[in-house]
Amino acid sequence: MTNITCTYLTDGETELVHGPTGSVIQTDLPPDNGGKGRRFSPTDLLAAAFASCVLTIMGKMAAARGEKFEGARVEIDKVMASNPRRVGEFVLKVAFPAHFTAEQKKFYISAVNACPVHQTLHPDVKVTVNVL
């Protein structure tokens, strides 16, 4: 179990403190929801968690296989939906190290579905994956 404390600061901003490490993240409301967009929004953090989850699982897979994985990246776009306001879709763009074969890329893409963040999303949230 991880403890995170969230404190409302002012003007739509919050501060999150990761209990075990003391790491701090601040958030703000996005402009399209009445905020100023000065920091990650809560749904931006959800997108960031998804991308980070996928990439760290891929990194563990690569370590287990003894394959170099440095430089891999995931770009993620969050598409909002309305009625109710929620994330409607995530579009992931996965860039693998240049030396990866098509077979390796296919193997590593399985991490998208294995990611606990993805498994937690409501089934109505569309997930699109593109390999760069």
Spatial contact of 94 and 74, defined as CB atoms under 8 Å apart:
yes
Report the CATH number of the 42-131 domain: 3.30.300.20
pLDDT at 1: 84
How confident is the model over 21-37, as a mean pLDDT? 93
Say if strands 14-18 and 4-8 run parallel, antiparallel, or are unpaired.
antiparallel
pTM, 2 dp: 0.92
Cα angle 52, 15, 53; round to 5: 10
Detail the DSSP E strand segments found in the chain: 4-8, 14-18, 24-27, 73-81, 86-95, 126-131
**pLDDT tens per residue across span 61-103:** 999 999 999 999 999 999 999 999 999 999 999 999 999 999 9
Residue 40's closest CA among 21, 17, 22, 14?
A: 14
Q: What are phi and psi of 114, to 5 degrees?
A: -80, -15
Domain boundaries, the chain: 4-33, 42-131
Confidence of residue 2 (pLDDT cuts 50, 70, 90): confident
Is pLDDT at 8 greater than 90 in this prediction? yes
